[in-house]
Structure 1
Amino acid sequence: MSSPSDSNATVTASLDFRSIDFRGRRLSLAELKSALPRAKHQTMADAEQKVLDIIADVRGRGFGALADLAAKFDGVEQSHPRVPAEEIANALRQLDPGVRAALEESITRAKQFAERQKPANVDVQLADGAVVSQNWIPVGRVGLYVPGGLAPLASSVIMNVVPAVAAGVESIALASPPQKDFGGLPHPTILAAAALLGIDEVYAIGGAQAIVSFAYGVPGDGTELPIEPVDVVTGPGNIFVATAKRLVKGVVGIDSEAGTTEIAILADATAKPALVAADLISQAEHDPKAASVLVTESAELAGAVVDELNRQAAATKHSARVREALSGPQSGVVLVDDLEQGIAVCNAYAAEHLEIMTANAPAVAGRIRNAGAIFVGDYSPVSLGDYCAGSNHVLPTSGTAAFSSGLNVTTFLRAVQVINYDRAALEQVSGHIVNLAGAEDLPGHGEAVQIRFAERS
Structure 2
Amino acid sequence: MSLKATPLQLSTADAGFEAAFQARLHWSADTDAAIEQRVADILADVRVRGDAAVLEYTQRFDGLGAASMAALELRPEELKAAFDGLPATQRQALEQAAQRVRTYHEAQKRASGESWSYRDEDGTLLGQKVTPLDRVGIYVPGGKAAYPSSVLMNAIPAHVAGVGEIVMVVPTPAHRNGAPSAHPGERNALVLAAAHVAGVTRAFTIGGAQAVAALAYGTATVPKVDKITGPGNAYVASAKKRVFGSVGIDMIAGPSEILVLADGSTPADWVAMDLFSQAEHDELAQSILLSPDAAYIAAVQAAIARLLPAMPRAAIIAKSLSDRGALIHTRSMEEACAISNRIAPEHLEVSSREPRRWEPLLRHAGAIFLGAYTSESLGDYCAGPNHVLPTSGTARFSSPLGVYDFQKRSSLIEVSAAGAQRLGAIAAELAYGEGLQAHARAAELRLTPVPPMRGQA
**TM-score, scaled relative to structure 1:** 0.88
Say which of 25, 28, 42 aligns to 1:37: 25
Shift of 1:139: 0.7
Q: In structure 2, what is the equivalent of residue 426 of structure 1? A: 420
Name stretches of at least 5 consecutive residues in structure 1 with no aligned partner: 1-12, 221-225
Are residues 1:148 and 2:142 paired? yes
Q: What percent identity do the matched residue pairs reach?
A: 38
What CA distance in whole angstroms lies between the structure 2 residues aligned with 1:350 and 1:294? 14
* Equivalence for 1:244: 239
1:218-367 aligned within 5 A: 218=219, 220=220, 226-328=221-323, 330-367=324-361
Q: Is 1:405 aligned with 2:395?
A: no
1:373 and 2:367 correspond = yes
Q: Structure 2 vs 1, CA of residues 266 and 325 (structure 1 numbering), >3 Å: closer, same or farther? A: same
Change (3 A) 1:60 1:202: same
Rounded Cα–Cα distance in structure 1 between residues aligned with 2:279 and 2:107: 32
Residues 33 and 122 of structure 1: is their aligned pair in 2 closer, same or farther, counting only changes over 3 Å?
farther
- 5 Å matches for 1:170-189? 170-180=164-174, 181-182=182-183, 184=185, 186-189=187-190
The 3-state SS of whatever aligns with 1:53 is: helix
Query: Structure 1 residue 420: deviation in Å?
Result: 0.4
User: Counterparts in 2 of 1:12-27, with a 5 A limit?
Assistant: 14-23=4-13
* Residue 59 in structure 1 maps to residue 47 in structure 2: yes
Q: C-alpha distance in 2, partners of 1:443/1:27?
A: 61
1:75 aligns with 2:69: no
For the pair 1:444 / 2:429, whether they are aligned, the reply is no
Partner of 2:193: 192
Partner Cα distance (1:303, 1:291) in 2: 19
Distance 1:200 1:448, change over 3 A: closer
Matched, 1:104 2:95: yes
1:54-82 deviation line (CA, Å, top 9, x unaligned): 32232233223222322333222123232
CA RMSD in angstroms comes to 2.4
- Tell me, in whole angstroms, the C-alpha distance in 2 between the residues paired with 1:247 and 1:267: 40
**Does residue 49 of structure 2 align to residue 84 of structure 1?**
no
Q: How many residues align?
A: 434
Q: Structure 1 residues 340, 380: closer, same or farther in 2, change over 3 A? A: same
Secondary structure of the residue that 2:414 maps to in structure 1?
strand
Deviating 4+ runs (over 4 angstroms): 24-28
TM-superposition CA deviations, 1:17-52 (whole Å, max 9, x none): 112443256999xx7984442446x74355433432
Structure 2 equivalent of residue 435 of structure 1? 429
The Cα shift of 1:116 comes to: 1.1
Amino acid at match of 2:326: G
- Aligned partner of 2:209 in structure 1 is 208
| Aligned counterparts of 2:413 and 2:161: Cα–Cα separation in 1 | 23
CA distance in 1, matches of 2:338, 2:234: 27
The superposition leaves residues 123-144 of structure 1 with CA deviations (integer Å, 9 ceiling, x where unpaired) of 1322222111112110110001
Q: Aligned AA for 1:137?
A: T
Q: What is the CA–CA distance in structure 1 between the aligned matches of 2:232 and 2:305, rounded to whole Å?
A: 28
Measure, in 2, the Cα distance between the counterparts of 1:361 and 1:65.
53
Which is worse superposed, 348-357 or 338-347?
338-347
Shift of 1:170: 0.7
Structure 1 residue 385 displacement after superposition:
0.4
Q: CA offset at residue 285 of structure 1?
A: 1.5
Cα 1:398–1:51, aligned 2, differ >3 Å: closer, same or farther? farther
